Amino acid sequence: MMFNDSAHILEDLLSRWHAWGKSYKANQQAPSDPMFRNAKTGRGWDSIDEIIEDDLMGSTLEAIDFHVSEMQDPHRTAIYFLARNLYTGRSVWLSKRLPEDPLERGVIVAEARNQLTRRLMAAGVM
């Protein structure tokens, strides 16, 4: 049962991480005053709980991004494509960097999931 729970948690986090990564846009604005660089727009319609939850999720997604970036290929590539498939709800996205044989690819994806789960548990994210 514990494996099942951690697998579902990881899948949810990877789907959110992919959506978060898609929404990233490089800052193309002119440099601003350093005093205001960390200022956020007003969110008066959000409750305090929603603001805290958003900040916590943002920190979680940044941690996932860091740990995935620290993984070696082909496991890092497997996580990228697994996250994309989870986000879209389809298992159609593949990579030329991963084996074409579904069994070999499945072994690499399973190893990548296990590596990432261990990393996130050690970091206190899961």
Residue 2 has a pLDDT of: 47
Per-residue pLDDT averaged across 16-28, rounded? Answer: 76
Whole-number percent of the chain with pLDDT over 90: 46
Task: Report the interhelical angle of 75-88 vs 48-69 (nearest 10°).
Answer: 140
The pLDDT tens digits for 99-115 are 888 899 999 999 999 99
Residue 117 has a pLDDT of: 95
Higher pLDDT, 63 or 35: 63
Whole-prediction pTM: 0.74
Per-residue pLDDT averaged across 36-51, rounded? Answer: 65
Residue 96: left if φ>0, alpha if ψ -120 to 50, beta else—which one? Answer: alpha
